[in-house]
Structure 1
């Protein structure tokens, strides 16, 4: 006889996305900014019929390298965060002194949440951890971690194309630069719009703010020699 309730079945079937909206937006914007540093230096590209191709390959090569580095660091951050949480759980589970275990949980709370959680609530968490049959001795990677790393890599690389592809498709570099800027601003606005909806900060406001941030950051990166 199956005693699982519909609510429990729905909770089990529901799967969190590998990357949340904030992570997707930030990785996409990171790739855009990296590609923009090359497009901003378009005048430095060697003149000739293949100048646009050289620019595109330079931007793509940069984002391939940074996409790989960012994907690896995503794995490092993920494992480190999981290890930190596991260490806390093991500490609380093995601590014979209930008060000391509750203090460990309280110390791990973010500063903004610490006043909102009382010791009785932390004691319930401590009791659940103490009653847990087993906990893994160390943190391990999961399949979704690698899916997330691949997603990070692809987001950074894909963001190259709307910025640099016009220089291959359009012979006039001035027209290509204008198209590239328009596409970039549109993507930045879309990214900010999605972020604003996700955080409740106002979609339109966040979209225009992201556009402005992209312009300022690109100018700063190019000015600093990026």
Structure 2
């Protein structure tokens, strides 16, 4: 069960959340650019690309921020229900069972009954939780942070369209930038998740390369 106390404000978004959101933003931007490249056969208007890519990821960021808030309400509500079930259990055995069910199975299997009882007693001493889960300041900051991450991840991909006058060349450079960023994010994702970082990075590159390859084959 997650801690009932709040995580410090500076840790609103953990590294995996930041990496994942950047990855999603990159994939969204690359998908949009590839689709537009196919639809226009490479004859892309820079203004169309900028507005479309930035608008697409801004919309995605807003949606993802909203989903983040829903997830926080769900997590906090689940913790509240668990704490209430422990405090209102008819006997200590039932309370320990509720507590063990809320813990990760690997951890629960290692804890002896006396440790579970100690945890139950500590939780029993906590004040009665609120009836309804509420969003905290840090939740709103996290949602805004996810939105900004999704939006900001688009800029490196669209910069070639600002710096290069040849739209088709800019499209190719944009593909290369996106794939390089996919590798970096995939590497970081693998490192943080316990996977082989190079394998995770190359897998992301393979995904991006396949997306770009199909696009070029279709005329983009």
Instruction: Please say whether Structure 1 and Structure 2 have the same fold, judged by a TM-score greater than 0.5.
Output: yes
Displacement, 1:96? Answer: 3.1
Q: 1:196 to 1:47 in 2, by over 3 A?
A: closer
Q: CA deviation at 1:209?
A: 2.8
Cα distance in 1 for partners of 2:53, 2:79 equals: 38
- Report whether the alignment pairs 1:85 with 2:79: yes
Higher normalized contact order (CA 8 Å, seq sep 6+, divided by chain length): 2
Match of 2:68 among 71, 74, 88: 74
Q: Closer, same or farther in 2 for the Cα pair 1:122/1:212, shift >3 Å?
A: farther
Task: Report how far residue 16 of structure 1 moved.
Answer: 5.0
Where do 5+ consecutive residues of structure 2 fail to align? Answer: 1-7, 216-220
Report the Cα distance in structure 2 between the residues aligned to 1:219 and 1:47, rounded to whole angstroms: 14
When normalised by structure 1's length, the TM-score is 0.81
Q: How does 1:172-183 map to 2 (within 5 A)?
A: 172-183=166-177
> For the Cα contact (< 8 Å) 1:86–1:139, is it kept in 2?
yes
The answer as to whether partners of 2:42 and 2:168 remain within 8 angstroms in 1 is no
Which of 142, 152, 158 aligns to 1:148? It is 142
SS in 2 for 1:140: coil
Q: Given the alignment, which residue of 128, 131, 140 partners 1:137?
A: 131
Alpha-carbon distance, 1:202 to partner: 3.8
Q: Which moved more, 1:212-221 or 1:36-45?
A: 212-221
Could you tell me how far apart the structure 2 residues matched to 1:179 and 1:218 are? 12
Gaps of 5+ in 1: 1-13, 222-226
